[in-house]
Amino acid sequence: MSDFEKKKLEMDFKNFTNRNFERPSECRNLAQIRFYVSELCGKIEEYEKRFNYVPAWAYTLLSQYNAKQNSMVHVEFVKIYA
């Protein structure tokens, strides 16, 4: 895969996330985070199968959503069991 093709795939992926996702820090509920994680995982899997390439920042974004999700789960846990 050429650098040009990789850049195009990265731009397409970036456009998809910019149109359809909020930043992890702007998400306010657990259901929203879980939806974004599942959608992002699906898109990553699609890129792996179709192009055998996923931009590295996509995994970084996924880890940010997972960190936000873990934080929200912890807060809920503390509320329930404290």
pLDDT of 53 over the 80 cut: yes
> Of 16, 13, 26, 23, which Cα lies nearest the Cα of 57?
13
Predicted confidence (pLDDT) at residue 82 exceeds the cutoff of 80: no
Non-local (6+) Cβ contacts of 68 within 8 A are 24, 25, 27, 33
Q: What is the pLDDT of residue 63?
A: 97
- Model pLDDT for residues 1-13, shown as the tens digit of each residue: 889 999 999 999 9
The answer to whether 69 touches 34, Cβ cutoff 8 Å, is yes
Position 10 scores a pLDDT of 95
- pTM: predicted TM-score of the whole model, two decimal places: 0.88
**What pLDDT score was predicted for residue 1?**
81
CB 65 within 8 A of CB 33: yes
Return the C-alpha torsion angle 27, 75, 66, 37, nearest 10: -50
